[in-house]
Amino acid sequence: MSAPATSVARAPEGASGVDVAHGGVRQKKDRVGSLVEGWLRGHAVLIYAFLYIPIVVVVVFSFNATDRRVTQWEGFSLKWYESVLNDTVVQGALANSLIVATSTAVIATIFGTMAALGLQRAPRWFRAPFEALTFISIIVPEIVIALATLVFFSSTFDILNSLLDLKLRLGFQTIIAAHALFNISLVMLLVRARLSGMDRTHVEASYDLYGTPWRTFWQITFPQLLPAIIAGSLLSFTFSFDDYVITTFVSGAGSTTLPLYVFSTIRKGVTPATNAVAAVMLLITLSILLIGQIAVWRNARRSGQHGAQASVAGMITEQSG
């Protein structure tokens, strides 16, 4: 009786198909089951290897002492980091990327949160189409958004420039605007998920205890939304920071970001310098996520939450589940 139960318990995550195999006749199915299980497990290992080995290779080879052949290990050195970080072009691109990503995160967080709060109160007939549009904007291929925003910007700018004699052109603002566009949807989804999971009686309790709607929002609702807001802002930052497709469509002279720079260099062939730039990007992204995770943890510990609500990743998967 307990044999199948234990083997189910051992089944790796994501291999839930295994319990189905256990549902029927016990003994024979058990052997088949463990074969399936082993196969799935090996499969999972392969997938993770496929995902992460290239990243590890990039990071390792950024420390390569070689001067010519990237793929040939010639010893450990930090010289590529030195050269990359002293390169004014890289510095400029990095600064651009940070400006774009930070602005995007701020704008997307503020407007995404406000949109989520606004929709929460709206009647269903009003809310439903907006929610559908939000989902769609996340699913629409990036290239379509890129093209659409480019067409929009250039035609609007043309009209405005000729009518009002302005000199509007593509640059930082257009990149930020385009990035903010899809990140607002993302923040909104995260905050909406959190809002709908919130206990309405807390708000009523606050009203009951003389809290005005304004004070209730800041003292009760906002603190409970904070993890979702943090998660949203961090994701916006990272998505914006490494975006290539949209950026390349709507950037202008002088607004080259790090991903654009990396892409332009590899046309001349991958060098250890490219690897070093990629490693720096990775480091920045991971640090941001780590900071966010710490913030969410601290918040969770104070309010006694566990599981999905206590991690940024959990928050992201929560709303899709």
List the one residue from 12, 14, 38, 223 that touches other proteins (CB under 8 A).
Answer: 223
Alpha helices in 165-271 (DSSP H): 172-197, 200-208, 213-216, 222-241, 245-250, 258-266
List the one residue from 212, 267, 269, 320 that touches other proteins (CB under 8 A).
Answer: 212
CB 161 within 8 A of CB 140: no
For residue 185, give every residue at least 6 positions away whose Cβ sits within 8 Å of its Cβ, in sequence order, or none: 112, 134, 135, 137, 138
List the one residue from 210, 253, 307, 321 that touches other proteins (CB under 8 A).
Answer: 210
Q: How far apart are CA 297 and CA 291, in angstroms?
A: 10
Is residue 304 a contact point for other proteins (CB under 8 A)? yes
User: What does each C-alpha distance from 48 to 44, 55, 146, 212, 241 come to in angstroms?
Assistant: 6, 11, 30, 51, 24
Q: How far apart are CA 113 and CA 213, in angstroms?
A: 17
C-alpha atoms less than 13 angstroms from C-alpha of 59 in its C-beta half-sphere: 9
List the one residue from 207, 217, 244, 297 that touches other proteins (CB under 8 A).
Answer: 207
| Residue listed under structure tokens 């450990």 | 76
Is residue 209 a contact point for other proteins (CB under 8 A)? yes
Of the candidate spans 27-35, 55-63, 181-189, 217-225, the one that interacts with other proteins by CB under 8 A turns out to be: 217-225
Is residue 205 a contact point for other proteins (CB under 8 A)? yes
Question: What does the block give as tokens for 269?
Answer: 């062939």
Looking at beta carbons only, is 137 or 299 nearer to other proteins? 299
Looking at beta carbons only, is 48 or 218 nearer to other proteins? 218
User: What does each C-alpha distance from 215 to 119, 218, 221, 234 come to in angstroms?
Assistant: 20, 5, 9, 26
Looking at beta carbons only, is 34 or 299 nearer to other proteins? 299
Is residue 303 a contact point for other proteins (CB under 8 A)? yes
Looking at beta carbons only, is 31 or 302 nearer to other proteins? 302
Of the candidate spans 15-23, 49-57, 150-158, 215-223, the one that interacts with other proteins by CB under 8 A turns out to be: 215-223
Is residue 224 a contact point for other proteins (CB under 8 A)? yes
Range 173-202, binding other proteins (CB under 8 A): 199, 201-202
Q: How far apart are CA 63 and CA 77, in angstroms?
A: 5
Is residue 220 a contact point for other proteins (CB under 8 A)? yes
Concatenate the DSSP letters of all residues of 139-164 into one string: HS-HHHHHHHHHHHHHHHHHHHHHHH
Is residue 204 a contact point for other proteins (CB under 8 A)? yes
Of the candidate spans 34-42, 62-70, 185-193, 302-310, the one that interacts with other proteins by CB under 8 A turns out to be: 302-310
Looking at beta carbons only, is 27 or 201 nearer to other proteins? 201
Chain contacts with other proteins (rule: CB under 8 A): 199, 201-202, 204-213, 215-216, 219-220, 223-224, 299, 302-305
